[in-house]
Amino acid sequence: MANIWEILHQPDTVVFFDIDGTLTSYNYGEHHAHHELDGTPEFRNVNIYADCKRLKPLYDYIVSHDVSRLFCISREPHGHEAWKSEMIERLYGIPASHCFYTLEAKEKPGIVKEKVKEMFPDISPESVVLMDDNDDTLGMYMTQTPFCTAHPMIFMEHI
């Protein structure tokens, strides 16, 4: 079996990216990683995605891959789905219709399995990569799905 970097670069590979901390740097505040209003009711009205920067190694990968095989799956408890999807489309060209959201990270494995079954019923599980920066989520993906997993820092190894 190919290693994860090789799998990511095979043309038929399907990738589900986490968003916060994977396709963004997760630096939303002025002096904190979390936005200073995070945890307050006002936070729902703050578009923390308006100023996000494109992460070039991920961008280079995404534009070199078939976008019909690239998706996002993100936990979103603050009602920021539309702003987040707009940012993903603007910075990376992944359509908003490819972005899926959940209130609970623990739902991610089930959602991904459902989407793969629906959209790529015949794909080999070794051709699906779930990329997330969260250790707990990567662990759930490993134990609850047959798919490959990768941490986004893999792109830092190949700059």
| Interface residue list for Mg ion (CB under 5 A) | 18, 20-21, 133-134
Residue whose CB is less far from Mg ion, 110 or 124? 110
Residue whose CB is less far from Mg ion, 20 or 76? 20
Task: Give me the half-sphere count of Cα atoms (radius 13 Å) on the Cβ side of residue 138.
Answer: 11
Per-residue CA distances from 153 to 55, 63, 110 (Å): 11, 18, 24
Residue whose CB is less far from Mg ion, 21 or 123? 21
Nearest CA-CA partner of 132 in 159, 113, 152: 152
Closest contact distance (angstroms) between CB of 75 and Mg ion is 8
* Distance between first and last Cα of the chain: 24
Say if residue 35 is exposed, middle or buried (CB neighbours under 10 Å; 0-12, 13-18, 19+). middle
Closest contact distance (angstroms) between CB of 134 and Mg ion is 5
Residue whose CB is less far from Mg ion, 2 or 139? 139
Question: What's the length of the chain?
Answer: 159
Check: CB of residue 18 under 8 Å from CB of residue 137: yes
Closest contact distance (angstroms) between CB of 11 and Mg ion is 26
Residue whose CB is less far from Mg ion, 29 or 68? 29
Closest contact distance (angstroms) between CB of 124 and Mg ion is 26
Q: Which residue is nearest to Mg ion (CB)?
A: 21
Closest contact distance (angstroms) between CB of 131 and Mg ion is 10
